[in-house]
Amino acid sequence: MGKQSLYDFKVEDLYGKTFDFASLRGKKVMIVNTASKCGLTPQYEQLETIYKQYKDKGFVIVGFPANNFAEQEPGTNEEIGAFCQKNYGVTFPMMGKISVKGEDMADIYKFLTHKELNGVQDSEVEWNFQKYLFDENGLLIQVIPPKTLVTDAKVVAMIKPTSKNGKE
């Protein structure tokens, strides 16, 4: 297995439609594994806030529901979509439920967690709401721990677009 690119992946969204990461070329991308029944579930609110703030400035969040931690995402794709909309007004793209660790780990998470595939670093998905941030060229720039909020000043600084002179 050689080095891959974020843009090599196609996945299914919550509604069974193909989502092609190649469509995100030129944008900063944050991938986050989510769960509806976790102590960190309220992070949906901050994720949606940051998404709305920066979506028109070249930033997108892609959520992947996963039931890998204490069975905190037991629902179907339909139930997950309804939960996200009703409780948090989520408008960022949500993918179909996958596995983010173990023998049945989804290919995109193999890419996220293995240096020989992503070219940057090895990592392990510690818990729900771990975040992977990619630059506009599809290169992994940061793995953000589950408890670190997307609204944290250091995270926002990485998300904000920069012009050629280094200003927003």
List the domain range (segments joined by +) for residue 18. Answer: 6-159
pLDDT in tens, 69-118: 999 999 999 999 999 999 999 999 999 999 999 999 999 999 999 999 99
Give backbone dihedrals phi and psi of 19, rounded to 5 degrees, phi first: -115, 120
Residue 164 lies in a domain: no
* Residue whose token pair is 């703030």: 53
According to DSSP, residue 135 is labeled: -
pLDDT along the chain (168 residues), means of 10: 85 96 97 96 97 96 97 95 94 97 96 95 97 95 96 95 56
Residue 168 lies in a domain: no
pTM, entire model = 0.94
Q: Is 84 a catalytic residue?
A: no
What CATH number should be reported for the domain holding residue 118? 3.40.30.10
Residue 165 lies in a domain: no
Give backbone dihedrals phi and psi of 120, rounded to 5 degrees, phi first: -120, -60
Total domains present in the chain: 1
Residue 167 lies in a domain: no
Residue 59 lies in a domain: yes
Residue 166 lies in a domain: no
d(CA 26, CA 20): 14
Residue 52 lies in a domain: yes
Q: Which of 38, 40, 120, 156 is catalytic?
A: 38
Residue 47 lies in a domain: yes
Pairing of β 28-34 and β 59-65: parallel
d(CA 39, CA 74): 15
